[in-house]
A and B are shown apart, each in its own frame.
Chain A
C-alpha cells in the first residue's frame, strides 16, 4: 500500500497475566522516585555502613585464617577483649551477630529516612489528583494497588537492608574460606533477611496508611517524623521518670539503719571483688555495695519494663535483636568479665532492653493490623453511591 493509514491503528499484542499488575505500579513508582537527586545521595550514604560490615566480616575471616594481611587491623581492634581476638573461631558467631546487629541498627535509621523521602506522596498524591478511578477501571484489584505501592517502599528498603546483607555474607564466607562457617552463621543470614522483611512490612504499611489519610504529603511526612521522634522522646521521658522513681524509693525511703547493712537479697561479695576486698567494712564500702545491689535490682526490673516499647523504632530493634540473637552474643562475651556485677553492667551498656520479644511483636502486629484497617477504610472501593 503506497499510502499508510495515519489515524488510529489497532494493536494486537499479548497482555500479561493478572498477577503481575502490582509490578507495573512498583516499577513506575520506583522510576519516579529515582529522579529525585537527594534520594540518590541518601541511598549512596546508606551503603557506607554496608562497606563497614563487609570490612568487618572480611577481617574476621582473615583473622581466623591467621593471615598476615590482618596484622595492621589488629591495632584498630584494641577495644575488644584480647581473649576474643586470641580465639576468633570460638567467637565467630558472636562477632558476626554483633556486626550484623550494629549494621541493621544503622540501616534502620537510614530506612526511616528513606521512607520519609519515598513514602508520603505514594497514596496521598493519588488522592489529591484523584487517580483512583483511573487505577480501578483497569484490571487491578485493591490488593494489587497496595502491593504495588508497598513494593516501591520495599525496593528502597531492600536496597539498604537485604542487598548489603547478602553481599556481606558472601564476602564473609569468601574471606574465611571455610564452609563450616556457612553452617554456623546461616541462621544469622536468615534472621537478618527476616528482619529486613519485617521492617519493610511494618514500616511500609504504616507509612502507606498515613499516606492514605491525607491529601497533602507534607503533613504525612511531618506525621511520620512525629511518630519516629516524638515516640522516642516520650519513651525516654517515661523511662527517665521511672528510673527516678525507683531511685527515690530505694535511697530516700529506707530507714537509716539499713544503709550500710547487707542487701537482704543476698548478693554476696565475691573473693576477687576488687572494689571491696582489702577495704575495711566501713560505711563507705557498704554504701558502694548498696549502690551496686541497687543497680542489679534495677537491671533485673528492666526485664519487665514496658516503657521502651512506646518508641516505634525500639520495637523494631527489639525484634531485630531477637532474630539476630545479639543478646545471647553479648551474654557469651560477658562471661569474660570477672564478676556478676560487671557482667550485668556490660550487658546493660551494650545489649539493649531485655523485656520479652513477643511484647514488641505484639505491638508491631497490632500496628500492622491497624494500618491494614486504615488502608481498607480510606481507599474505598468504587462500590458506593457517589
Chain B
C-alpha cells in the first residue's frame, strides 16, 4: 500500500495531541484507501479524537495530514464540505419537523434552499423515514433519530461518510436496515464510509478493511479477509447429537479434538482433508450438521491485537 498512484482517502502523518496529562493521539500515522473502512478500538483509544482531527475541529500539537488531498491544518472548511458525519450521541436541531431538519442540515453546508429541500425529501425516503417526515423530530424514537442523523449526513452528497456507532439503541430490524443502507452507499454508490463501532459483526457486514487504534496509536490495519486467517487443517464440527463417541473415533485416527460447548474443534493430521470426517460419519451413522474451516473471528483478531499492548 504505497506509491503515489494508490488512491488515498485520508492520511495522517505523525499526529500527536495531548490534553494535559492525557495523550489522546500518539504519533499516529495512517493511510486509508477509499471504500468502506471500519474504525475499531477500545474506549479511550483516540477514535473520537482522530475523527475530530479529520474534520478539522482539533488542531494537532504535532504532525499533519490530508483528507481528499486537502491539508487538514489549512482547509478545514473545505474538507467539511465533503464529509458527512453522524455523531454517536443524541443530537437534534430543536423545534423542527424531520424534513426541515434535513433541509437545514443541507443549507448549513451551503446548499441553496430549494436544492436542500428537494434533496431532503429524497434522502428521507432513502433512509426509510418517508412516512414520518412531517412530524417534529423530538417525537421520533431512537431508531428514527439514528436514521435522521444518517439522512442529514448524506444530504449534501459527501465523498466520505463517517458513522459513529450508527446502530446504537436500534432493534434488530432497524440494525439490519441501517447496515443495509451503509453497505449500499459504500459498495454501490461510490461513497467512502468510515464506520466506527464496537459491534464487530456490524463492521464485518459493511466494511472490507479495518483500522484498530489503541492508546492513540495504530495497532492493526488491513483487509478483514486477510486478517481472519484460516487455520490450515482446523475445522469446527457439530453433530446432530452431542456424543463423545465420535470424538473418540476421530482422535483415534490422529486428529486433535477439543470440545467447546456443543462444537468440536478438530485438527486433522497433515495430508488429510475433510473427507476423512465424512467417511467416519458415514461409517458410524452420524449426521454432521456443521463443518467449517476454523477462522478466527474479528473479535479474536481485535482482542489479540489489543492484548498485545
A and B touch in the complex (CB under 8 A): yes
What residues make up the interface of A, taking CB atoms closer than 8 Å to B?
7-18, 20-21, 24-25, 27-28, 32, 121, 125-126, 128-131, 133-141, 381-385
Q: Would you list 24 pairs from A and B whose C-beta atoms are within 8 A, ordered by A residue?
A: A7-B126, A7-B189, A8-B185, A13-B112, A13-B115, A15-B110, A18-B110, A20-B110, A25-B108, A121-B94, A125-B95, A129-B90, A129-B94, A129-B138, A130-B91, A131-B93, A131-B94, A137-B55, A137-B57, A138-B80, A140-B77, A382-B58, A383-B52, A385-B22
Assuming A128-B94, A130-B89, is B189 touching A10 (CB within 8 A)? yes
CB-CB contacts below 8 Å: B60-106 with A: 76-78, 80-81, 83, 85, 87, 89-96, 104-105
B40 on the interface (CB 8 Å rule)?
no
B263, CB-defined interface residue at 8 Å: no
Highest count of chain A CB atoms <10 Å: which of B22, B157, B188: B157
Residue on B with the closest CB to A20?
Answer: B110
Cα distance A9–B189 in the bound complex, in angstroms: 8
In the complex the two chains form, is B87's CB within 8 Å of A137's CB?
A: yes
A8 B91 Cβ-Cβ under 8 A: no
User: Contacts A10-B157, A125-B94, A130-B91 hold; do A136 and B112 have CB atoms under 8 A apart?
Assistant: no
Q: Which of A9, A133, A384 contacts B91 (CB 8 A)?
A: A133
Is B90 a contact partner of A130 (Cβ separation < 8 A)? yes
Query: Complex formed: what's the CA distance from A12 to B109 in Å?
Result: 14
| Chain A nearest CB, measured from B154 CB (Å) | 7
Complex CA–CA separation, A1 to B157 (angstroms): 23
- Once the chains bind, are B91 and A11 in contact (CB under 8 Å)? no
Contact A15 B91, beta carbon cutoff 8 Å: no
Q: Which of A17, A21, A133 has the most chain B CB atoms inside 10 A of its CB?
A: A133
B126 touches A8 (CB 8 A): yes
Query: In the complex, what residues of B have CB within 8 A of residue A9's CB?
Result: 122
Q: Which of B4-63 contact A (CB under 8 A)?
A: 19, 22, 24, 49, 52, 55, 57-59
A149-B19 Cα distance, complex, nearest whole Å: 30
CA gap between A27 and B123 in the complex, in Å: 22
* B262 CB within 8 Å of chain A: no
Judging by beta carbons under 8 Å apart, are B94 and A126 in contact?
Answer: yes
Task: Find A131's partner among B85, B92, B109, B154 (CB 8 Å cutoff).
Answer: B92
Further pairs besides A139-B110, A382-B52: 10, Cβ < 8 Å: A9-B122, A13-B112, A17-B110, A129-B92, A129-B93, A131-B93, A134-B91, A137-B80, A139-B76, A139-B81
Closest chain A residue, CB of each to CB of B96: A32
- A7 and B107 in contact, given A133-B89, A139-B78, A381-B57 (Cβ under 8 angstroms): no
Q: Are B77 and A18 in contact (CB under 8 A)?
A: yes
**Chain A residue nearest in CB terms to B104:** A28
Residues of B within 8 A of A133 (CB): 85, 87, 89, 91
- State the Cβ distance, B181 to closest chain A Cβ, in Å: 8
Q: What CA separation (Å) do A27 and B156 show in the bound complex?
A: 19
Q: Does B305 contact A (CB under 8 A)?
A: no
A156 to B49 alpha-carbon distance, docked (Å): 39
Please determine whether B157 and A134 come into contact, CB atoms closer than 8 angstroms.
Answer: no
Chain A, residue nearest B89 (CB)? A130
List the 8 closest pairs (A to B, CB-CB), nearest first. A15-B110, A125-B94, A11-B157, A139-B77, A137-B85, A129-B92, A139-B80, A24-B107
* A383 partner, pick from B57, B93, B96, B157, beta carbons under 8 A: B57
Which residues does chain B contribute within 8 Å of A139, judged by CB atoms? 76-78, 80-81, 109-110
Tally chain B residues at the interface, Cβ within 8 Å.
48
Residue on A with the closest CB to B108? Answer: A138
Whether a CB of chain A sits under 8 angstroms from the CB of B119 is yes
B126–A138 touching, CB < 8 Å? no
Q: Given A8-B126, A15-B110, is A129 in contact with B91 using a C-beta cutoff of 8 Å?
A: yes
Give the complex CA separation of A121 and B81 in angstroms.
28
Interface residue? B184 (CB, 8 A): yes
A111 to chain B, nearest CB (A): 23
**Minimum distance in angstroms from B109 CB to a CB of chain A:** 5
- For residue B154, which residues in chain A have a CB less than 8 angstroms away from its CB? 8
List of A residues within 8 angstroms of B112 by Cβ: 13-14, 16
Known A138-B80, A385-B19; judge A11-B156 contact (CB<8 A): yes
When chains A and B are docked, how far (Å) is the Cα of A31 from the Cα of B132?
A: 21
Which residues on A sit within 8 Å (CB–CB) of B178? Answer: none
Complex Cα spacing A7 to B111, Å: 21
Q: Which residue of B lies closest to A137 (CB)?
A: B85
B22's nearest neighbour on chain A, judged by CB, is: A385
Partner of A138, one of B94, B105, B115, B157: B105
**In whole angstroms, how far apart are the Cα atoms of A74 and B283 in the complex?**
123
What is the CB-to-nearest-CB distance from A137 to chain B, in angstroms, rounded to a whole number?
4
- Name the CB-closest residue of A to B185: A8
B117: chain A residues within 8 A (beta carbon): none
Q: Does B152 contact A (CB under 8 A)?
A: yes
What's the nearest-Cβ distance from chain A to residue B265, in Å? 42
With A and B bound together, what is the CA distance between A7 and B125 in angstroms?
9
Q: Give B149 Cβ to nearest chain A Cβ, in Å.
A: 8
Nearest-Cβ distance from residue A32 to partner chain B, whole angstroms: 6
B57–A15 contact, CB under 8 A? no
- Report B-chain residues with C-beta under 8 Å of the C-beta of A8: 122-123, 126, 154, 184-185, 189
Name the contact of A32 in the complex, choosing from B95, B122, B152 (C-beta under 8 A). Answer: B95
A130 near B92 with CB under 8 A, answer yes
In the complex, residue of chain A having the shortest beta-carbon distance to the beta carbon of B101: A134
CB-CB < 8 A to B113: which residues of A? 27
A131 to B115, CA, bound (A): 23
Closest to A23 in B: B107
Least distance between A132 CB and chain B CB atoms (Å)? 8
**Those of B112-141 within 8 Å (CB) of chain A:** 112-113, 115, 119, 122-123, 126, 138
With beta carbons under 8 angstroms apart, the residue of A15, A24, A381 that contacts B104 is A24
Residues of chain B lying within 8 A (CB to CB) of residue A131: 91-94
A138 to B107, CA, bound (A): 10
Cα A344 to Cα B296 in complex, Å, equals: 96
Let me know if A13 and B111 touch, CB within 8 A. yes
Complex: how many Å from CA A7 to CA B187?
13
* B94:A16 contact, CB within 8 angstroms: no
